[in-house]
Amino acid sequence: MMSEKKTVRFIITRQDHPDKAPYQEEFVLDYRPNMNVISALMEIRRNPVNAKGEKTTPINWDMNCLEEVCGACSMVINGKPRQSCTALVDKLEQPIRLEPMRTFPVVRDLQVDRSRMFDSLKKVKAWIPIDGTYDLGPGPRMPEKKRQWAYELSKCMTCGVCLEACPNVNSKSEFIGPAPLSQVRLFNAHPTGAMNKDERLESIMGDGGLANCGNSQNCVQSCPKGIPLTTSIAALNRETTFQMFKSFFGSDHMVD
Ligand code: SF4
Ligand code: FES
């Protein structure tokens, strides 16, 4: 008796243009061991024929590092936002459903525009301003314990998964979301970055800032890098309360 060929079924949400309506297209591929979602998408790209045997257009998606470092390949896989480069076909229930993250505008198919998150990083000044015109020598040192937790926060790859998982980040809300908030905590903790601490805290005290967090805890559960996002938000809540008093009474009377 001939054994049936093992296949993998995909149902992919497609969208031809940002203004066009989304639709679904099904694909069936031959199974190969160790297949991941991106290798399957690449195979479809090489031979864009859908499950009905019709020739179709290749699927669009973003990718870069292929090792869960760049954050570009995030999409919703079987209902869960995650990276497609580390989503192994063997570990996924079939049919495998691929959709774009909906928190961000769709560019085409599974490719989204994550500018919203990068704009928020600009808004909170998520960088350390240094004069690069001459050799500054070694930077100030951080106590080892602090360096360790700062390193955890620095693992953020701006993948957008925590924003997608958060019920309060959407097109109707200005909320910047967990990742940019956590970066405020990271850059404020840096000895040089602390020079702009007040500015960063002020930037998250208004509309779209900390107050928009509904404490759903979805972010911390979804972050592929295990970043303690809710701990960062709680710490920032304490710091902004202090900042409020500081600006109210004047910094000269308060100890930082
Ligand atoms: S905090 Fe985690 S989930 Fe959010 S963007 Fe950074 S790496 Fe992705
Ligand atoms: S391609 Fe970089 S995280 Fe997946």
pLDDT digits (tens, 9 = 90+) for 83-119: 999 999 999 999 999 999 999 999 999 999 999 999 9
CB atoms within 10 A of CB 107: 17
Compute, in angstroms, the gap from residue 47 CA to the centroid of ligand 1.
33
Residue 2 in domain: no
- The answer to whether residues 76 and 120 belong to one domain is no
Give the position, in ligand 1's atom list, of the atom nearest the Cα of 74. 8
Report the Cα–Cα distance between both ends of the chain, in Å, rounded. Answer: 78
- The answer to whether residues 120 and 98 belong to one domain is no
- The answer to whether residues 125 and 239 belong to one domain is yes
Q: Which residue has a Cα nearest atom 3 of ligand 2?
A: 68
Domain containing residue 86: 7-112
Contact 59, 27 (CB under 8 A): no
Residue 124 in domain: yes
Q: Is the Cβ atom of 62 under 6 angstroms away from ligand 2?
A: no
pLDDT over 70 (residue 2): no
Residue 243 in domain: yes
- The answer to whether residues 241 and 126 belong to one domain is yes
**Structure pTM?**
0.91
Query: 13: phi > 0 → left, psi -120 to 50 → alpha, else beta; which?
Result: beta
Give me the number of domains the chain comprises. 2
Residue 65 in domain: yes
- The answer to whether residues 107 and 119 belong to one domain is no
Contact 243, 202 (CB under 8 A): yes
Contact 26, 113 (CB under 8 A): no
Q: How many Å apart are CA 16 and CA 96, to the nearest integer?
A: 21
Residue 175 in domain: yes
- The answer to whether residues 199 and 98 belong to one domain is no
Report the CATH number that the domain containing residue 80 is assigned in CATH.
Answer: 3.10.20.30
- The answer to whether residues 144 and 247 belong to one domain is yes
Given pLDDT bands bounded at 50, 70 and 90, which one contains residue 241? confident
Q: At 112, which helix (H) or strand (E)?
A: strand 111-112
Q: Give the list of residues 6+ apart from residue 166 with CB closer than 8 angstroms, or none.
A: 103, 175, 177, 178, 216, 218, 219
pLDDT over 60 (residue 254): no
Compute, in angstroms, the gap from residue 85 CA to the centroid of ligand 2.
6
CB atoms within 10 A of CB 106: 23
Given pLDDT bands bounded at 50, 70 and 90, which one contains residue 256? very low
Span 7-54, pLDDT tens digits? 999 999 999 999 999 999 999 999 999 999 999 999 999 999 999 999
Given pLDDT bands bounded at 50, 70 and 90, which one contains residue 255? very low
Q: How many Å apart are CA 204 and CA 210, to the nearest integer?
A: 6
If you average pLDDT over every residue of the chain, what do you get?
Answer: 93
Residue 1 in domain: no
Q: Which residue has a Cα nearest atom 5 of ligand 1?
A: 158
- The answer to whether residues 100 and 176 belong to one domain is no
User: What's residue 149's pLDDT?
Assistant: 92
User: Which tokens sit at 253?
Assistant: 């009377």
| Helices of type H across 9-79 | 37-46
244 or 190, which is more confident? 190
Token match 């390193």: residue? Answer: 151
Report the CATH number that the domain containing residue 147 is assigned in CATH.
Answer: 1.10.1060.10
Q: Is the Cβ atom of 65 under 6 angstroms away from ligand 2?
A: yes
Compute, in angstroms, the gap from residue 175 CA to the centroid of ligand 2.
25
Q: How many Å apart are CA 244 and CA 205, to the nearest integer?
A: 9
Q: How many Å apart are CA 202 and CA 243, to the nearest integer?
A: 8
